[in-house]
Amino acid sequence: MNPNEKYAAIHYHSYLGLDKILEAQVPRSGQFGKEAHDETLFIIIHQVYELWFKQILHELQSLIGLFEAEAVDEKNIGSAVSRIDRINEIFKLLIHQIDVLETMTPLDFLEFRNFLFPASGFQSAQFRKTEVMLGLKMPQRFSYQEKPYYNQLSSAQQEEIKQLESQRSIFELIEDWLERTPFIKCDGFSFVEEYKIAIAKMIEREKQAITTNEYLSDEEREARLTMVSGNGEFFQQVLDPTAHAQKIEEGHVRISYDAMIAAVMIHVYRDQPILQLPCRLFGFNYDNG
């Protein structure tokens, strides 16, 4: 390319490739008689989904690039937070698109549904890629008719999915990053032990407050004490590596014990400047905890 061409004028229409985009809506019902009015809406909704999936995959690939290094450059955490925020906002948009789709009634849909068989959203390769890159891989899936979930995709698309299955997902990479979190145990300080002490004190304060509350009946006092004791037992299990390993084995939990402890510590000390961005990375904020 001529270096001067990059400064040449370009038109909005050609830059966005609008000829290709706006000619890509071809209602199938019109090819077999009268065109169903709402089929254009149906096509556009799903094309927009696919465009947003493309952007999500673009962001996910960049996140993988940031976290796949053994030593993650902390200067990149701000970029990671921004890209995850962007993905979350896109997912919100995708959900709200259902509101537009629901302006089409079931009867409107039936006007052209028979022309679409056997097409299905399950055949979206980009949606499947998004799932895999986020961390939903074969071991976490249910098989359908004893066939892999990507069975309805083309051969080339199946190969892409298999390649992604063999690579590390965002879940795995961030789990590794969490496991390398400093400050968990250093210089005579153990976060887990200090957290256990803090929880024990909190439980004791709550029990004391309930016991000395003269406005509670005996029945109410007993119920609240039972609930507080249950909270204490819950925290004990959460902080017990053996219990955590059991939950992983039973399929109730996926994240490793060390990564979970790191996430808890990041949330507890979220006001510390060094942990504010890592806290935002997991969607924690001061409004929803």
Domain CATH code at residue 143: 1.20.58.480
- Read off the amino acid at residue 79: S
- Domain identity same for 43 and 99: yes
- Domain identity same for 163 and 189: no
289 part of a folded domain? no
User: Contact at 8 Å (CB) between 132 and 164?
Assistant: yes
- Domain identity same for 143 and 13: yes
- Domain identity same for 24 and 106: yes
CA atoms of 93 and 49, how far apart (whole Å): 9
- For the four alpha carbons of 53, 57, 60 and 62, in that order, the dihedral sign comes to negative
Range of the domain at 193: 181-281
- Domain identity same for 131 and 242: no
How many domains does one find in the chain?
A: 2
Q: What is the pTM of this model?
A: 0.87
- What contacts 205, CB < 8 A, 6 or more positions away? none
- What contacts 227, CB < 8 A, 6 or more positions away? none
- Domain identity same for 248 and 270: yes
- Domain identity same for 10 and 100: yes
286 part of a folded domain? no
Q: How many CB atoms lie within 10 A of CB 130?
A: 20
Scan for tokens 């149906």, then name that residue. 42
pLDDT per residue of the chain (289 residues) written in tens, 0 to 9: 666 677 778 999 999 999 999 999 999 999 999 999 999 999 999 999 999 999 999 999 999 999 998 888 888 999 999 999 999 999 999 999 999 999 999 999 999 999 999 988 889 999 999 999 999 999 888 877 788 999 999 999 999 999 999 999 999 999 999 999 888 988 889 999 999 999 999 999 999 999 999 999 999 999 999 999 999 999 998 999 999 999 999 999 999 999 999 999 999 999 999 899 999 987 654 444 3
Name the domain boundary from 170, 193, 221. Answer: 170
- Domain identity same for 237 and 162: no
259 part of a folded domain? yes
